[in-house]
Amino acid sequence: MGFFGRLTGLFARAGLCTVKLFAAVLLGILRAAGLIASELWSIVRGIGRVIAWLFRDFTESLRKRMKLSKEQQKEVRRAKKEGGREYAKALTMFIGSYLFGEGGVFYTAFNYILPIVSAAFLVGVVRYGSGLEYGISVTCNGREVGIISAEADFEEAEREVQQRIAYGENDEVVDLSASFSLKIISDSDRIMTSEQLANELLAASDEELTQAYGIYIDGRFVGAVRDKTPVEDALAEHLLNYDAGGTVRNVSYKNQIKYTDGVYLLGSVMTEQEAIDMMTSSTSSRGIYVAQSGDTVAGICQKYNMKLEEYSFLNPLAGSTVEAGQVVFVLETESFLPIQYIREMETLSFIDYETIEVETSALNVGVRSILVKGEQGERVSDIEVTYVDGIERSRTVVHSEVTKQPVVEQIGIGTYAAKPDDPATCYFGMPLTGSGEFSWPLNGGYVSDTFISNRNHKGMDLAAPAGTDIYAAADGQVVSAGWNSGGYGYFVMIDHLNGYQTVYAHMSAVYAVEGQTVSRGQLIGAVGNTGNSFGDHCHLEVRYMGVCLDPASFINTEDYGDDDEDQ
């Protein structure tokens, strides 16, 4: 069989498989549809049977009635043939059964109309009842003392009564013996508040009572007066004359004062002056304060509204300063009605700076040094300090503004790895101990000729194998790079933008380009023997304002011997 024959057979088998797959999918879909249709048909048949059963049950009495009517009609026709008397009797029985018999007109009407009438009656009753207003009638000692809207009102009134009773010499709890009943409120009835009910409950007791104004501090009964006006005026004047020291605002009593007109025990009524003396009284006691970080003597005195003389009297052995954790005595004032106020202040706080580590070629490998010293930031905040009886209780920041941003401290981690072959024999057998402003520019090498040698040498020769990398000795800008016909050969000149320039000569290759900005340790060329040169080396010059200086004064190789030494 040829190639085309095999190919035809392959396509034929593929087509047959496709047809079989399609047929199998179609058959599966048809079976699923048949199953769904079968289940739906079962549901429809079930619903039909239920409807048929309901119809038979609903019409059964009607069918019985029709069957009975047919039998009675036959009986009437038979009796008609027998005579008038029998006919009248049969007709009377037919009419009576049709109207009043089981399944008759009146029987059927009664069975259907009665539930409807009952439902309508129930709806009417509910609507009528929902339109009424109900209350709870309170009966005490056999008589109704009032109507309240909720049982909680009675509980509140009972607590109020017990509070008034407890003020007197009799500490026994009064049994009010109250009972409750639901009552429809008429136009003449009045819903009482808990305070009004308390007055009625007291009036129903056997205690000696009088009409007065009850004084309540944060809901607690402290006594009663017959006239509240002198008390209110005295408390207002006491608040007005309060010396808070400095500029303050919102001077007020910390507690809520309320006067309630009602019936009170005669023994709980005091004179207006007695009430004023009680409510403006205060006591002072010695307390203990543990100094916090940043505390001062003046600050502690201000916090407790003390005079410096009072602090010195309480702490005769204490100095003029305090340390964190030091225990000092303070004067604490406790008033019957504490006075609170707000003082506005401006505070200065410091923001700690962050410290980060930065890798830099400005330092040799293994050297750590502070590149940028961190500085704390400053924040000015407007705060409101709340005082109670002259003692600071809380602080609220109203506005805050950073007036000085913190400076992040940068710790430099040295990455500059270039160093001489032997740091100890760099310069006349000793390490170079210059200022360190410029670094050793080769990856290896040694000093082969010094500055101003016997041939008026303007720089320092650093001998190294040809091709040794040459790096920039400090940050700067390349001002010249390439061939120099004056004897330098291939060279690079870098201006360090501070009056100093460095020159690297006799290179075998120049990698830097004129105008390029370079950083310390950046590759700029390779050691060679070009120009007026004898042997592979890098001629290094340091110039200041055009004057050549000894590079040894600026290179420091003292720390190159140990990579892990910190500077």
pLDDT value, residue 151: 66
Protein fold of 417-561: Glucose Permease (Domain IIA) (2.70.70)
| Confidence band of 387 (pLDDT split at 50, 70, 90) | confident
Which stretches of 114-230 are assigned E, i.e. beta strand?
A: 134-140, 143-148, 178-184, 209-217, 220-225
Tokens of 408: 């992040």
Q: Are strands 377-388 and 391-404 parallel, antiparallel or unpaired?
A: antiparallel
pLDDT tens track for 294-342: 788 888 887 777 788 888 888 888 777 888 888 888 887 788 899 899 9
Which residues face 144 on adjacent strands?
139
Region for 440 from its dihedrals, namely left if φ exceeds 0, alpha if ψ lies in -120 to 50, beta otherwise: beta
What is the rounded CA–CA span in Å between residue 464 and residue 422? 12
61 confidence band (pLDDT: 50, 70, 90): low
Closest residue by Cα to residue 408 from 377, 363, 362: 377
- 284-335: CATH, from 3.40.50.300, 3.10.350.10, 3.30.70.940, 3.40.1180.10: 3.10.350.10
Which single residue is written with the structure tokens 């590079």? 551
Q: Cβ(117)–Cβ(155) under 8 Å?
A: no
Between 448 and 62, name the one with better pLDDT: 448
pTM over 0.75? The answer is no
* CA 154 – CA 163 distance, rounded (Å): 14
CATH number of 341-416, picked from 2.40.50.140, 1.10.630.10, 3.30.980.10, 2.20.230.10: 2.20.230.10
Q: Is 485 a residue whose pLDDT tops 70?
A: yes
- The first and second tokens of residue 363, run together, are 């330092």
The pLDDT, as a whole number, for residue 469 is 94
- Say how far apart CA 532 and CA 554 lie, in whole Å: 25
| pLDDT band at 181; cut points 50, 70, 90 | low
pLDDT at 128 over 60: no
Q: What is the mean pLDDT of residues 62-91?
A: 66
Q: Residue 533 above 60 pLDDT?
A: yes
pLDDT at 223: 87
The CA R_g of the chain, rounded to the nearest whole Å, is: 56
Among 2-16, 190-204, 212-226, 535-549, the range scoring the smallest mean pLDDT is 2-16
User: pLDDT tens for residues 541-557?
Assistant: 999 999 999 999 999 88
How far is the C-alpha of 482 from the C-alpha of 510, rounded, in Å?
6
The domain locations on the chain are 134-207, 223-281, 284-335, 341-416, 417-561
pLDDT of 175 higher than 60 = no
Phi/psi at 13 (5° precision): -65, -40
Of the two residues 446 and 202, the one the predictor is more confident about is 446
> Average of pLDDT values for 97-105?
59
Top pLDDT among 171 and 70 is at 70
> Is pLDDT above 90 for 484?
yes
Backbone φ and ψ for 566, nearest 5 degrees, come out as -85, 145
Q: Are 464 and 475 in contact (CB under 8 A)?
A: no
Q: Please report which helix (H) or strand (E) contains residue 500, including its range.
A: strand 500-510
Beta-carbon contacts of 199 under 8 Å, excluding residues fewer than 6 positions away, are 262, 263
pLDDT tens column, 331-376 = 877 888 998 999 888 888 899 999 999 988 878 887 888 989 999 9
State the pLDDT confidence band at 566, using cuts at 50, 70 and 90.
Answer: very low
